[in-house]
A and B are shown apart, each in its own frame.
Chain A
Amino acid sequence: MNAANTHEAVLHYAVRLGDDSLVLGHRLSEWCSNAPFLEEDLALTNVALDYIGRARMFYSYAAELSGDGRSEDSFAYLRDCREFSNLLLHELPRGDFAFTMARQYLVDQYALAFMEALLESADPQLAGIAAKAVKESRYHLRRSRDWMLRLGDGTAESHRRLQVAVDELWGYTHELFELDDLEQALVAAGIAVDSAALRPAWDAAVRATLDEATIVVPAGDWSVRGGRQGIHTESLGHLLSELQFMQRAYPGLEW
């Protein structure tokens, strides 16, 4: 890649990572005042804040790279579904508490390894964002893994709900480990994370947790993909309609 191509590719990469963070952060924020008890309400919304903060850092960097007057808000509020490039796992509706925690666990186990790898990025700003995120993800994982064990090895009802959640989520995890041309080129340049290489360790860790939680590992005979190319599930549009409402109704609104 020449310098101009690299510049453009890093911009897209930062937006992708920002989209993952924003969409998941929004899903978590939907639990505000709806969690099963007060401590969980605080925990879910605090994790949401970490993700929304991450989105802000990635979008701010993308805005700086764009140099065309776009801001972090332009990326968050003024793009439609097809322009969002988040991995589908992040946008699935929050479901019940078991679904939210199972998704969070699968994401945390991935995000921790991803951010540890991004620390080594040749792009100092991406490495800097990873340095903040890695500490938070370590903490997130401690909590979400604990919930997997409590729900899986808990009551018959919590076990049933967690198994259903894992079965529903599993087909969306394959996409986490697939790289398109843009990401492969950035991996070659030492900038992006080779997420395919993270799979064996992720698989081993997740299987160990599911075993301990007495949850059956799904067969893995179906998969859905398309988020990085802007091909989304029907839920993203509903999410954006709420997330973007104020800017759409009152363009340019500021607090």
Chain B
Amino acid sequence: MVTVDNRIPALPAEEYERRQRRAVSTVPALWDLLDEVKDPEIPVISLWELGVLQDIEQRGEVVVVTITPTYSGCPAMTVMAEDIVVALQAAGYKQVVVDTRLSPAWSTAWMAAAAQDKLRAWGIAPPGCGSTGVAAVCCPRCGSPDVRELSEFGSTACKALYQCNSCAEPFDHFKPI
């Protein structure tokens, strides 16, 4: 009998493939290098952890980085692409191309538990449960599940604005999509 404790957490197929691309990559050093490139608006998680970084390939002198946009009009995407180019050029890779891939569409389900915990520590209620196992939106300050939505949209396209009824702290919730 399968019990809750020994089930393997379901990983979306496209996220499995993304992790495989990194695992079998012939240029692991480039992936490690780009781990230093963070979300410009949430500087505690990397583009890899966010799920935006899809693939890195070296074709001769050219490094081709494939990213997938979070929201269609997210203004941070341009900054992310620029930050990738700057990081690679600083490491001596002069020719960098950043490609945008739309499909599969980005999903917060690609964000690992550790990254979700980082969001919470930064004051943002993560899209999933992280290591807590609690799926509900909880206050990132006091942990209370007694919260209310103030607005479907927060400071950026990917977040909604909430307030904690227990400690009165307003906070952003990273919307699950």
A interface, CB within 8 angstroms of B: 25, 39-40, 42-43, 46-54, 56-57, 124-125, 127-129, 131-133, 135-136, 139, 142-143
Contacts and interface: CB of A to CB of B under 8 A. Distances in A.
A43 B153 contact: yes
Nearest to B102: A128
B105 interface: yes
**Interface pairs A-B: 6 shortest CB-CB:** A53-B73, A53-B72, A49-B73, A39-B151, A128-B103, A128-B102
A54 B73 CA distance: 7
A46 B153 contact: yes
The A interface is mostly helix, strand or loop, or mixed, namely: helix
Nearest to B152: A143
Interface of B: 69, 71-75, 101-106, 150-157, 161, 175, 177
Interface centre among A125, A132, A142, A143, by most B CB within 10 Å?
A132
23 contacts: A25-B73, A39-B151, A39-B153, A39-B161, A40-B151, A42-B161, A43-B151, A46-B157, A49-B71, A49-B74, A49-B157, A50-B73, A52-B72, A53-B71, A54-B72, A54-B73, A57-B102, A128-B105, A131-B103, A131-B104, A132-B72, A133-B72, A136-B177
A42 B154 CA distance: 7
A102 B161 CA distance: 23
B73 A132 contact: no
A106 B60 CA distance: 51
Contact of B177 (A48, A51, A54, A135): A135
A124 B104 CA distance: 11
A142 B152 contact: yes
Contact of A50 (B71, B102, B106, B161): B71
A39 B150 contact: yes
Contacts of B102: 57, 125, 128-129, 131-132
Given A39-B161, A56-B73, 18 more contacts: A39-B151, A39-B153, A42-B151, A43-B151, A43-B152, A46-B156, A48-B73, A49-B73, A52-B73, A53-B74, A54-B73, A57-B72, A57-B102, A131-B103, A131-B104, A135-B177, A139-B152, A142-B152
Contacts of B157: 46, 49-50
Contacts of A46: 153, 156-157
B79 to A, nearest CB: 12
Contacts of B75: 49
Contact of B71 (A43, A128, A131, A136): A136
A127 B103 contact: yes
Contact of B105 (A39, A56, A125, A135): A135
